[in-house]
Amino acid sequence: MSRDPEEVNKLTENTYKNVMEQFNPGLRNLINLGKNYEKAVNVMIVAGRAYYDSLAKIGDISAGSPVSKELGQVLVEISRTHKKLNDSLEESFKKFHKEIISELEKKTDLDVKYMTYLETVSSRQSDIQRFIAEGCREALLEEKRRFCFLVDKHCSFTQHMHFYHVQCADFLKSKLPGWQEICSDATKVPEKVRMMIDEIRTPGSTPVSGTPQPSPMVERNTVIGNDFYPHHENASNVPPAPSGRAYTSPLVDMFNNPAAAPKAPSEKLNHSADSSEDASLSRSTSVATGLNIMKRQKVKTIFPHTAGSNKTLLSFAQGDIITLLVAEEKDGWLYGEHDTTRVPAPIRSISSVNLVEKGEVVLPPPDYLGASQADKRAESAKGPAPKTPTDRAEPTKPDMNGIVKPPFLRTVGEPTIDVTWLQLSPNSMTTRHQKFCFSNSRNVLQFQSLTPFQSARWNPVGGFCEKLLPSDRWQWSDVSGLKHQQLDSFTLPSPHWEWESDWYVDENIGGEPTEKGIVSHDDPEQLPDPFNDISIGGWEITDEPLGRLSVWAVSLQGRVWYRENVCHYNPEGSTWSLITTPGEVVQISCGPYDLLWATLWEGQAIVREGIDRNNPQGISWSTVESPSSENGIMHVSVGVDVVWCVTKDRKVWFRRGVNSHNPCGTSWIEMVGEMMMVTVGLNNQVWGIGCDDRAIYFRQGVTPSELSGKTWKAIVSGRESDRSQTGSSTSLLSAGCFFTDDIQTQTSAIVQGDADTSSDTELPSVPTNPVNTLPMGAASSSSGNSTGSQTEVSADLTADPLDSDQGEATAASMSHEKANLEMHKSAASPNPSAELQWTNIDLKEAQKHPVLSVSSFADTSSLSSLGVFSAGAEDQYGADEHPLWAWVSGGGCLVDLHSPLKWFTAPSGLSSSVQSLSLSITPAQTAAWRKQIFQQLSERTKRELENFRHYEQAIEQSVWVKTGALQWWRNWKPHKWIDVRVALEQFTGSDGMRDSILFIYYMYHEEKKYIHVFLNEVTIIVEVLNEAKHSFALYTPERTKQRWPIRLAATTEQEMHDWLSLLTMSCCESRRIQGPPSHHAIWSVTCKGDIFVSEPTPELEAGPQLMPCDQMFWRQVGGHLRLLECNNRGVVWGIGYDHTAWVHTGGHGGGFSPGLASSADNIYTQTDVKCVYIYENQRWNPVTGYSSRGLPTDRYMWSDASGLQECTKINTKPPSPQWSWVSDWYIDFGVSGGTDREGWQYAADFPASYHGHKTMKDFVRRRRWARKCKIVTNGPWLEVPPVTLWDISIIPSSDADAEAAVALWAISDKGDVLCRLGVTQQTPAGTSWLHVGTDQPFISISIGAFYQVWAIARDGSAFYRGSVSPNKPAGDCWYHIPSPQKQKLKQVSVGRTSVFVLDTNGNLWYRQGITPSYPQGSAWDHVSNNIRKMSVGPLDQLWVIADKVQGSHSLSCGTVCHRIGVQPMEPKGLSWDYGIGGGWEHITVRGNATEASRVAAHDTSEENLAVSKDLEDEESKGKTEHSKTPLMVSESQELDRNAVNC
Amino acid sequence: MSMRAFKWFLNSGRLGAVTTSLGKQKRSIGMTDDKDVLRDVWFGRIPTCFTLYQDEITEREAEPYYLLLPRISYLTLVTDKVKKHFQKVMRQEEVSEIWFEYEGTPLKWHYPIGLLFDLHASNTALPWSITVHFKNFPEKDLLHCHSKDVIEAHFMACIKEADALKHKSQVINEMQKKDHKQLWMGLQNDKFEQFWAINRKLMEYPPEDNGFRYIPFRIYQVHKTFFALLSDDTVE
């Protein structure tokens, strides 16, 4: 290779760097710019659309003139063409977005992952040259690919643009001449007109009236439509559609994705010129919605209107009947035909809108609640003050009705708060305005932010972008496919409305605004732009003046406004003040307390901080990131102390940890379900609109302790039109149940305003104008449902705003002092003799019901109690379809936690007997009944038990239970800690045996489940040290096999110890193990220093059925040790981490085990000290030499030994709370491999073998820092001073002479060999040390059953001590035994005859050729690798601690393994059996000399032998040592983190 | 004693034998969610005094034995102590199957204790005095109960019968053996939680089903065998 690999490497790295640091940021920038570009083009498109719409309208106007008819057509056509081009431009940009922006975005996201991956790959390249070259190529190619991609995408976009321009050119070229031609001759007059003019000129012709035809439109329709542009079949630029014409009801939006609804409001005249385009669309929708069968609606005028000079308007007298040709109100205009004169003309909707035709019912717009009715009523009471409608005055709203019928939840006269606020639907799609009303018991005011009619002010794009498209707009519009239709709803560029004009134009009664009336005097300069969203709350801010409210609004430009001085007696407030925000705000939500969240266009949420009584506006914003990086927050809703949000991918999130001190909360929790929006009610109850089915959902199980609730439950909201079929009885029933008061059925057609109200002139009131909101939907509903005389207005308080005959507004004055609630079921008949059933329900004393929330309504059928409005009552669609909801607001809804909600079952009507019967039992009845039962039961108990409590129970309640809350490392992926309830049930079986079951209850997909463990199956309960958790693991044989214990964590160490001791005790009890460990016990120590002991059974080492070692039961013994040695006489010694020697006192328990589980005496305090190590890593670079700046791929500069964990001096903590630091950090020079004078070890790279001096090839270095920590615990251990020890071995004596001395050899921590004298069963501590001289320090020692002493020197070689005997305990001399080739030995263990050694590389060797006459043996025989520690017992049984044992789920280090098949003829055994594992450090089996059934096993052992011989023969050909069964596993496999590791 | 009819609501998981007055009420499903009521029903106890029949031959005087009997259980299930107590004073060869009698009426062990009490003795002074017999087993009145397995079999049969009416046996059949065992063990060990953890399933129905198919209940009469009525949810 010509190039230096180093160089290539650098090149590769540079390339990646280049990509990561320059290309990618550039790309991100590009994406941002692209988005802006997109946005701008969108603006252009929308503006263009608006422009051409207007153009079309002008064209339309000109078409009215006979002369410029043609020009009008041209204009219309031009506008159409341009719109088409506009659309195709939009298409192009959609592609631009889809193909470039989103693609690139996706790429950049992926890129990070990919690059990291590549980098790790490249970091390995140093190993293999080939890879370097490939990697380099890969890198360069990758870079190129990137650029290619970019170029490619842009090429294709350019292609699109090119096509677009060509298209434009073609299109325009073909049309242009025609247009020019038409306008070429301004003097040219059409033939017809000329003839007409000629006729006029001609004397004797019919005199023409000087008055223009009031309505030439009918003729126009035929003439123009057919004669001139016959090819445009639908080019009816004429207003009133004949009956066949399908109107595009704005309601169609309801059945589409609301978010997909109009991109921009566009205005639509009655005679909209672009109807040709939307005709097809509306047809398709109207088919679905049944709009075609709409009947023409009739209205009755409520006051006279004289057209005056403007002859195009319709004149009429009060009470005239007008048939609406275009019933859809447009900016307050309707188009209708006088019933008597039959002259069609535009009329002010406001002036007339009062329905009526026989059998038809006008539904009041749901938007106008009782409050507004009350306004009206109150106002009417104020006294009439006639007022002529002025065109510009009314705050009419375009197609308010029907577009959104927000299902809303509301309170009725909320008594506790005394303020009801309703946030009326910000019909986020089409209407850009907001309304909200306040009401309280004294006055009722309505307060509207005006419709942004005015095109100039109205920034369609701004609004469009901000509100309509919090998420991907194209997606939505694709879904809806109704974009043209939305153009229609563009508001007319109406004259600038003025704030000085009244807010409430009420032509009905002509009420004049009172002083109190909301006449805004705001300086227009200070006015916020039109509102996008508004939210009211803050009435319960601590200590704030009573009645104060916070009103927050978001304008279309994304600014946040706060309404100053809003309070009960001044609900309109004074001025808007602008609150600066860190970005453009889309939506805002204000809780009843001090919580205020808003969402930004970019997808973050911002939280207002510092809101208190002095600062209701708050002080500052803080930003909360979206829960998911790709999808920003779309909608947020706050309650008292909860925050819910919906991200753009419709996921619902709950904010954890929100409270008044921390309004931002701590983290997001994803909730199940996908929602369009969510809303939070007064006591944190949550409603949402489902994303898929668009149904209203209620969050069940929201309680103060569980704010996030449990499940979503759909609220069944039947459609009114369905229910209306059942006639008034149903509605009466429901209403009656509802308010539990007088119900009157009247046959009168008139609902009179409440007399009290009318007389109450004191009421400050505001004129309101609900008339103009009269829903077209309502009207058409009645027409669609001609037979149903009653369309139930179920939602309690919505009353018909109009009371036709009297011309007086009726309203349910919920706010009236007397609090008479009236519910007007409106149906006005023009004909007094109509057999219409009128229902007037007077709701007396409604406020007596405390908390008039849903809870008190719950008894009734579902719908009414909720107060949900059906979406589109006018649509007769299939009964199985449920309404598709667009908006829900529960901000005023207080749900009583304890009352059952009946929203979830559909009232199936009177025919369903079962349902109705079950409904007939009201909760009140149930409660009474329950009380009765309860009473009877307690009486019975009293009678039967009171005097007999001293009697014996027939069934002993021996079962007892401990329950608690723990965390569980859950079984399924992604693995994490989840909260569980844990119950331990202990019971006495029929045989008097105690047994216990541990239940762990958890939630799985909202479902409660549990796992249970029989404690008599548990093999070990072991504490797992973990910095973050006080956790422990429960193993059963099965789980040991799986290396997958049940892991539980407690919140405190004490709690964990309680559980540990209880469970351990229960386990011991169920296995009937108690008292101190036997002499044969097998001891083991975990990596953490915990001591475990297991009682061996005879079957463990021999017998026809060998007991698998994963079935061994281990119990913990208190104390903390590094290693333990024992013999079969009960002499047990241990060595701590600080090398202190300890001797077992014969007790048991200690540690965490209190009381019975511990022996009463023999428990002493034990301490241990160990070091915690961290590594300081450095890399060499040519400039600065070694520095703490590594490569990006390098390990942490402060890490643990593996380099995987970052460990700094500061953040490293003692292993558990039981430990405490007893020193400061110091450099550790005692590292294997040696260090330089500063403690550094050098290596070529991480991770590699380190050496203590720097060479030319070394690029990294590390040094170890240590810090001592100390544990104080207790256990059955006594210190053996003063010598500190490194290793120890006790003779596994076979003779049973209790008095005989026990040989005990040890190695001091300096490496001296010591022999303990005076050790007996009675005095296990012995009396004194005898020093045995050596040439060099030793590290391991072992004494066999026949006084064979073997030792390992520090140089890794073995020594045999000759002539050791009871009489000569120290022996005479050492015989050197060379180690296996190239291996340094580290441990030796001698059993009865076998000698095994372990080298530093984890290989286990067996000493061959040992005979009594030649005890040193002849050669080493390899047995296995991956061994950490071993113990050979008096039966020559071999147990080891193995590393890297593969379980079914994971690999774990430090596993207890048992060599099986060990026989006199097969001393090395045959295979491994795996026991408890993960984190074991040491085991000793030297106490287990149970020889039972050894003989019985002989047969099988012979067989085994035979088998193994065969194997040997076979394998000998391949010269494989058959007994070498490696514990080998692939080194590259990582340790599974789920396993309990050390 | 009058021929008062007692309803024994199988559907309430055999917990419903509250009193006759309760029986008039329509039992709502919501009641099964009412832990307080369920607990009170479950932990109903009848103080009982067991005396040995005077004709039994004893070696020495037999003391009466006082016990609080759980209403929701079976006599032979909870009277091991009684048996042991009286066997101590009897000669071994005299001991055969134990049976109980109240005022001359042999008590059917396969009726729940609460039912037996309400049926026969609701008007007597407490404690309820039951006579213990070891001889002359009334073959025509009583079923033999040689072991607890018999009681378990009877109990499970009742549960299955009830579930057949309520859910076409769907619920009981979907349960595992260990659930059945838990149900029985809960009853046997007087373990409310354990019992209701399983029994709840038997009492549930999906809302769309509009309730149980039938509500199983039995009317017990003194000196007659009980009869069961098929009643669906809408009756009464």
CA A681/CA A591 separation, integer angstroms: 9
Where exactly are the structural domains of chain B? 3-133, 148-229
Task: Give residue for tokens 């453009």.
Answer: A584
To the nearest whole angstrom, how far is the Cα of B136 from the nearest Cα of chain A? Answer: 25
Q: Please name the member of B19, B25, B68 whose beta carbon is closest to the beta carbon of A954.
A: B68
Tokens of A669: 């929790």
Higher pLDDT, B208 or A123: B208
Decide if B28 and A929 are in contact by the 8 Å CB cutoff. Answer: yes
- pLDDT on residue A1307: 92
Q: Which residues of A touch B201 (CB under 8 A)?
A: none
Q: Which of B12, B35, B40 to mutate to test the interface with A (most CBs of A within 10 A)?
A: B40
* Strands B128-133 and B45-52, sheet pairing: parallel
To the nearest whole angstrom, how far is the Cα of B127 from the nearest Cα of chain A? Answer: 8
Query: What CATH fold (topology level) applies to the domain B3-133?
Result: Ubiquitin-like (UB roll) (3.10.20)
Q: Which of B20, B38, B67 to mutate to test the interface with A (most CBs of A within 10 A)?
A: B67
The residue type of A874 is: E
The residue type of A117 is: Y
Q: How many CB atoms lie within 10 A of CB A146?
A: 17
CB burial of residue A1098 (10 Å; 0-12, 13-18, 19+): middle
Instruction: Reduce the DSSP state of residue A80 to 3 states and report it.
Output: helix
To the nearest whole angstrom, how far is the Cα of B180 from the nearest Cα of chain A? Answer: 16
- Nearest residue of A to residue B43, measured between CA atoms: A941
Q: Work out the percent of chain B whose per-residue pLDDT is above 70.
A: 77
To the nearest whole angstrom, how far is the Cα of B59 from the nearest Cα of chain A? Answer: 25
Residue A833 neighbours by CB under 8 Å, 6+ apart: none
Q: Which residues of B touch A951 (CB under 8 A)?
A: 47-48, 66-68, 127
Give the side-chain half-sphere CA count within 13 A for A1132. Answer: 30
Q: Which residues of A touch B79 (CB under 8 A)?
A: 954
Task: Give residue for tokens 């044989």.
Answer: A1037
- Nearest residue of A to residue B232, measured between CA atoms: A914
pLDDT tens string A416-450: 333 333 333 333 333 333 333 333 333 333 333 33
Decide if B210 and A905 are in contact by the 8 Å CB cutoff. Answer: no
- Nearest residue of A to residue B186, measured between CA atoms: A959
- Nearest residue of A to residue B188, measured between CA atoms: A955
- pLDDT on residue A193: 60
Asked if B231 contacts B218 with a C-beta cutoff of 8 angstroms, the reply is no
pLDDT at B184 over 50: yes
What is the pLDDT averaged over residues B124-131?
85
Q: How many CB atoms lie within 10 A of CB A183?
A: 13
On whether any CB of chain A is under 8 Å from the CB of B20, the answer is no
Mean pLDDT for chain B overall = 75
Asked if A1032 contacts A968 with a C-beta cutoff of 8 angstroms, the reply is no
Q: Which residues of A touch B23 (CB under 8 A)?
A: none
- pLDDT on residue A1133: 92
| Residues in a beta bridge with B90 | B58
Q: Which residues of A touch B210 (CB under 8 A)?
A: 914-915
Q: Which residues of B touch A937 (CB under 8 A)?
A: 18, 37, 40-41, 44
Say what the ipTM of the complex is: 0.78
CA A170/CA A168 separation, integer angstroms: 5
The residue type of A747 is: T
Q: Which residues of B touch A947 (CB under 8 A)?
A: 47, 126
Q: How many CB atoms lie within 10 A of CB A491?
A: 28
To the nearest whole angstrom, how far is the Cα of B23 from the nearest Cα of chain A? Answer: 10
Instruction: Please report the number of interchain residue pairs, chain A to chain B, with beta-carbon separation below 8 angstroms.
Output: 100
Instruction: Reduce the DSSP state of residue A1017 to 3 states and report it.
Output: helix
Asked if A550 contacts A616 with a C-beta cutoff of 8 angstroms, the reply is yes
Decide if B47 and A930 are in contact by the 8 Å CB cutoff. Answer: no
Q: How many CB atoms lie within 10 A of CB A120?
A: 10
CA A1499/CA A1463 separation, integer angstroms: 11
Q: Which residues of A touch B181 (CB under 8 A)?
A: none
Q: Which residues of B touch A952 (CB under 8 A)?
A: 66-68, 81
| Residue A1046, phi then psi, degrees to nearest 5 | -80, 120
Decide if B28 and A921 are in contact by the 8 Å CB cutoff. Answer: yes
Q: Please name the member of A900, A936, A948 whose beta carbon is closest to the beta carbon of B21.
A: A936
- Residues of A with a Cβ under 8 Å from any B Cβ are 900, 904-905, 913-915, 917-918, 921, 926, 929-930, 932-934, 936-938, 940-941, 943-945, 947-948, 951-955, 957, 959, 961, 985, 987
Q: Which residues of A touch B189 (CB under 8 A)?
A: 955, 959, 987
Decide if A955 and B188 are in contact by the 8 Å CB cutoff. Answer: yes
Q: How many CB atoms lie within 10 A of CB A215?
A: 22
On whether any CB of chain A is under 8 Å from the CB of B66, the answer is yes
Decide if A954 and B191 are in contact by the 8 Å CB cutoff. Answer: no
Asked if A1090 contacts A1022 with a C-beta cutoff of 8 angstroms, the reply is yes
- Alpha helices per DSSP H over chain B: 20-23, 35-42, 75-78, 80-88, 113-120, 148-167, 170-174, 177-188, 192-203
pLDDT tens string A52-91: 888 788 777 776 676 677 777 777 777 888 888 878 888 8
Q: What one-character-per-residue DSSP string does A1390-1406 give?
A: E-SS-EEEEETTS-EEE
Least Cα distance to A678 among A719, A720, A708 occurs for: A708
- Nearest residue of A to residue B122, measured between CA atoms: A944
Q: How many CB atoms lie within 10 A of CB A108?
A: 16
CA B10 to chain centre: 11
On whether any CB of chain A is under 8 Å from the CB of B228, the answer is no
To the nearest whole angstrom, how far is the Cα of A747 from the nearest Cα of chain B? Answer: 36
- Nearest residue of A to residue B126, measured between CA atoms: A944
CB burial of residue A664 (10 Å; 0-12, 13-18, 19+): middle
On whether any CB of chain A is under 8 Å from the CB of B78, the answer is yes
Q: Which residues of B touch A921 (CB under 8 A)?
A: 26, 28
Decide if A952 and B67 are in contact by the 8 Å CB cutoff. Answer: yes
**Which CATH class for the B148-229 domain?**
mainly alpha
Q: Please name the member of B37, B46, B211 whose beta carbon is closest to the beta carbon of A944.
A: B46
CA A810/CA A1390 separation, integer angstroms: 104
Decide if B26 and A921 are in contact by the 8 Å CB cutoff. Answer: yes
- pLDDT on residue A1450: 54
What is the pLDDT averaged over residues B175-203?
83
- pLDDT on residue B34: 66
Q: Which of A901, A919, A939, A951 to mutate to test the interface with B (most CBs of B within 10 A)?
A: A951
Q: Please name the member of B18, B67, B191 whose beta carbon is closest to the beta carbon of A954.
A: B67
DSSP class of B133: E
Decide if B40 and A941 are in contact by the 8 Å CB cutoff. Answer: yes
Q: Which residues of A touch B194 (CB under 8 A)?
A: 985
Type and span of the H or E element at B47 = strand B45-52
To the nearest whole angstrom, how far is the Cα of A53 from the nearest Cα of chain B? Answer: 52
Decide if B40 and A921 are in contact by the 8 Å CB cutoff. Answer: no
Q: What is the pTM of this model?
A: 0.42
- Alpha helices per DSSP H over A1286-1377: none
Q: Which residues of B touch A934 (CB under 8 A)?
A: 36-37, 40
Q: Please name the member of A900, A929, A959 whose beta carbon is closest to the beta carbon of B189.
A: A959
- Nearest residue of A to residue B79, measured between CA atoms: A954
Mean pLDDT for back-to-back runs of 10 residues, chain A (1542 residues): 64 75 77 83 84 80 71 78 80 77 71 57 56 72 74 77 80 78 67 64 46 39 39 41 40 41 40 39 34 55 61 67 66 66 57 41 38 41 40 38 35 32 33 33 31 31 33 32 34 35 33 34 52 81 78 84 82 83 86 86 86 83 85 86 87 84 84 85 84 82 80 68 37 33 38 38 39 37 37 36 37 35 37 39 38 37 35 40 74 69 52 39 74 84 81 70 84 85 74 74 84 86 79 88 86 83 82 83 88 86 80 88 88 90 85 61 83 86 76 78 80 81 87 81 79 80 89 87 89 71 88 88 86 88 89 90 84 87 89 89 89 86 89 89 71 82 85 84 86 45 41 40 41 41 47
- pLDDT on residue A1341: 92
